[in-house]
Amino acid sequence: MTDDGTTTAAATGTLGYEQARDELIEVVRRLEAGGTTLEESLALWERGEELAKVCRRWLEGARARLDAALARPEEPSETDGAPD
């Protein structure tokens, strides 16, 4: 972590969705609360942008997985198409 409480950009790539989302919520809370210097605010903003990208990548990946699963033809069950 840096002095302003944010993690480094290198660690961003290893964050899971929930971790990135939770940290992004904290960044937004700190920005909205004010009381930080311009430099701290800029660093928080930049971190927020990185975290938003991480969240977006996770969500896009999840959407792609769902789309792929929905596009697969259903496999017939044992009772489907079986002669009675």
> Chain-wide mean pLDDT for the chain?
86
**What's the mean pLDDT in 10-21?**
85
Of the candidate ranges 3-7, 13-17, 33-37, 72-76, the one whose mean pLDDT is the lowest: 3-7
Do residues 36 and 4 lie in contact, with contact meaning Cβ atoms separated by under 8 Å?
yes
Q: pTM here?
A: 0.70
Do residues 48 and 28 lie in contact, with contact meaning Cβ atoms separated by under 8 Å?
yes
Distance CA 83, CA 6 (A): 64
CA torsion, ordered 69, 71, 75, 79, to nearest 10 deg: 100
Look at residue 38 in the predicted model and tell me its pLDDT.
97
Distance CA 36, CA 41 (A): 6
